[in-house]
Structure 1
Amino acid sequence: MKEFYRATVIQAQTKIRRERVLPKGGEIVVRVGQEVSPIQVVARTTIASDFAILAAAEKLDVEPDALGDYLRVEKGAPVEVGAVLASRKRLLGERQVASPVDGVLFDVVNGRIAIQPTSDWLELRALVAGRVVSYVGNRGVMLETSGSLIQAAWGSGQEGVGRLKMMGNGPNMVLTPEHLNDDVTGQIVTIGVLNDLALFHRAEDLGVRGLIVGSTTAEICRTSQSSPLPLIVTDGVGSSGMAEPIFQLLQQADGRSVSLFGKYRATAGQRPEIILPQAASIGLDAATVKKTIEPGQPVRILGTEHAGQVGTVKHIYARLQPLAIGLKVPGVDVALADGQIVFVPSANLDVIV
């Protein structure tokens, strides 16, 4: 019986092509064949100068009427992107509200800060070191690079680039306050489990450029969607940690540049991605995602008592197999790292390619 499975790309070395496109037509500022850095602008377009509204009192956890006591910029003053507008000292450090754009502090009303942008341009950066291979109309470019590629389970919708900083020596390590000090500023922090919302905010305050975690809570996922700090979750909601192949690949890349592609359309079959550029080996080609499996294939188990564990396919059943609840389903036997062999329904398999 031929079955089709969910697949996740975890490649140590491959050629990678990714589009970088604007939300609308604009101006391409690089040429085909040009080598670009992650922070280099590749395209730009004009944008309407809408006000940026920041829920500052909520971010600082103060009453709206008390926000004035924590302002660090006067009304009418010019501000640059990243400038601290308000801050509050806390036990684990300082909570800050930063400007997302260049502009002027226009007003403070009901605990919210309004910034009037002064820039009329939206600039699109490469995000990854590579070569421009083609244009995407007048909206962007296709970039080619080589290196490691990891497809993740979920992303907050933000993008980032920085140096990878691995925390802990195992895929189930939990992030603690001791992990977050001044050394993480400007780094992409990586850990098996993040289960404390206060530590997510602590990472924001310290200027962390991104978080890669194996698993986290639904609360942190919701909060991260309104934060400029990129969050990539490799495995899913919960406390199962990070899949061993992903952990090992990231551990080997500790200290290297890493790019977080957190903007994706799940409805179009896209996944958030982690890219670690490095020099290509001769003959490498882009990863091909298999739709079927065979004995020896690495797989990750989903949604059972063995959820999150990685093993290899031992046997593929040609006929439907009975479950304890009385149903008959297609599936395979999987050999786990401890030598145990378990039957896993096809619907609970994630093929690693």
Structure 2
Amino acid sequence: MITKVKQYHELTSIKRERVLPVAGDVLVRRMQKVAPNDVIVVAPLAPEFILIDIAQGLRVSPSKADELLQRQAGEELVKGDIIAGPVGIFKRVVRAPQAGRVKIAGEGKVLFEVDAPAYELQAGMEGTVTNIIPERGAIIETRGALVQGIWGNGKITYGILQPVSSDLLQELVPEQLNIGFRGTIISAGFCRNPNVLETAGNIPIRGMILGSMSSALIPLAKSADFPIMLIDGFGNKPMNRAAESILIANKDKNIALNAQVYDPFQGNYPEVIITQLTKSDPDLPPTTDSLKTGKKVIIVNGLLASRIGKIEEILPQKRILPSGISTRVASVILSGEEVVEIPLTNLEIITE
């Protein structure tokens, strides 16, 4: 069975294709050094239109509203510019709600096109542009440590890594956060208290890496001003040991946190990249591999989620789970020589 490979590396080659789904203007050149927050390509967004009822706003008839229009189709306006009026004792006017332009005016109405900011795609990592994809983006490469997760709130940052403690298996509570973490990217075990995210935003921190988080906090995490990445998913699961050891070892180092939305079909994972200056040239890690005896795996679902072990055997016959589902399972040896049977669909290969 082919499965995804989750990457936990102290040192590996990293190659990322950063592209837009629509045509845009590429702002970088080949062999250029980039930082995570550097914009590499911009593209215009689809315009937004607002239909403004001038007659209703001025409390006049459509024909009278047309007489009171001060703008013509094609005129550029800033927010607050008068479109029509004044009229009446109180000198009523209709103003531009945002910066934009008049597209059509008449019959007591104005179709107003709002200026939409261009979409900017950031590099998401520190590295070198090795190839340009015309009108779409670039390929960026580097060498360093890599830790991938399975959920992100869609934001990117770059800063100093500060584990909250030397043990990332425990719950993160508000009392652990203080002014000393201002401007840093913190890492911790798991979070289930909404006050943690509020406190972190007030400090403010630059980013947060967690083993897991209560699913009830998803709306709050999505609206946070800083990136949040979950390595092992939702619930009260401690961070797995492989990720923990890499993050602890890189304390006080600059890291790129790209909490992009998890898209397994495109191979996009939220991830931490810690660029390292080295003369070695490690191979690029595989993105998929076959589950088989001897492979190191992480359990991604169930009561044992985030535990790491090694496949002892893939059982030849399907097993019926307590849920009634019949599926293939593997015998997995966990730490302490504990042996458990896990459905193959609940396993991902990890490389270190």
TM-score (structure 1 length as normaliser): 0.73
Structure 1 residues 34-43 or 309-318, which shifts more?
34-43
- Asked if the contact 1:15–1:280 (Cα under 8 Å) also holds between the matched residues in 2, the reply is no
CA positional deviation for 1:200: 0.2
1:262 aligns to 2:249 (yes or no) = no
Shift in Å at residue 177 of structure 1?
2.4
**CA deviation after TM superposition for structure 1 residue 24, in Å:** 4.3
Counterpart of 1:185?
182
**What residue ranges of structure 2 are gaps of 5+ in the alignment?**
49-77, 82-96, 101-114
What is the one-letter code of the residue matched to 2:251? Answer: D
In the alignment, is the contact (CA less than 8 A) between 2:212 and 2:233 conserved in 1? yes
Q: Secondary structure at the match of 2:337?
A: coil
Q: Could you give the per-residue CA deviations for residues 194-218 of structure 1, whole angstroms, max 9, x where no partner exists? A: 1111110111111211110001111
Greater mean deviation of Cα atoms: 340-349 or 318-327: 318-327
CA distance in 1, matches of 2:281, 2:260: 30
Give the Cα–Cα distance (whole angstroms) in 2 for the partners of residues 104 and 212 of structure 1: 39
Task: State the alpha-carbon separation in 2 of the partners of residues 208 and 198 from structure 1.
Answer: 14
Aligned to 1:335: 333
Give the match's secondary structure for 2:220. Answer: helix
**CA displacement, residues 88-110 of structure 1 (integer Å, 9 cap, x when unaligned):** xxxxxxxxxxxxxxx9999xxxx
SS in 1 for 2:233: strand
Higher alpha-carbon deviation: 227-236 or 294-303: 294-303
User: Given the alignment of the two structures, is residue 287 of structure 1 paired with residue 285 of structure 2, yes or no?
Assistant: yes
Q: What's the secondary structure of 1:150's corresponding residue?
A: strand
SS at 1:170 equivalent: coil
Deviations 1:233-281 (A, max 9, x none): 0001111111110111111111111112222352634322221111245
State whether structure 2 residue 30 is matched by structure 1 residue 36: no
Confirm whether residue 126 of structure 1 aligns to residue 123 of structure 2: yes
CA distance in 2 between counterparts of 1:329 and 1:43 reads 45
**How many residues of Structure 1 are paired with residues of Structure 2 in the alignment?**
293
Cα distance in structure 1, aligned partners of 2:308 and 2:337: 12
Q: How many percent identity over aligned positions? A: 26
* Higher deviation after alignment, 220-229 or 3-12: 3-12
Bigger mean CA offset, 7-16 vs 323-332: 323-332
Q: Could you tell me which residue of structure 2 aligns to residue 218 of structure 1?
A: 215
Any conservation in 1 of the 2:328–2:343 contact (CA below 8 Å)?
yes
Larger Rg: 2
Q: Report the CA distance shift for 1:48/1:350 in structure 2 as closer, same or farther (over 3 A).
A: closer
Contact 1:13 1:280 in 2 (8 A): no
Q: Which runs of 5+ in 1 are unaligned?
A: 51-102, 107-113
Taking only aligned residues, the RMSD between alpha carbons, in angstroms, comes to 3.0
Aligned with 1:320 (options 314, 318, 324): 318
Alpha-carbon distance in structure 1 between the residues aligned to 2:158 and 2:116: 23
Deviation at 1:179, TM superposition (A): 2.2
- Aligned partner of residue 225 in structure 1, secondary structure: helix
- Distance of 2:201 and 2:47 partners within structure 1: 26
| Structure 2 CA distance for partners of 1:105 and 1:9, relative to 1, 3 Å | farther
Measured in 2, the distance between the counterparts of 1:203 and 1:116 equals 34
* 1:184 partner letter: F
The farther-off stretch of 260-269 and 176-185 is: 260-269
Normalising by structure 2, what TM-score?
Answer: 0.73
Aligned to 1:13: 11
| Residues 125 and 271 of structure 1: CA distance in aligned 2, closer, same or farther (over 3 Å) | closer
Distance in 1, matches of 2:289 and 2:255, equals 28
**Given the alignment of the two structures, is residue 239 of structure 1 paired with residue 236 of structure 2, yes or no?**
yes
Q: Residue 195 of structure 2: SS of its match in structure 1? A: helix
* SS in structure 1 of the partner of residue 199 of structure 2: helix
Amino acid at match of 1:15: S
Equivalent residue letter for 1:260: L
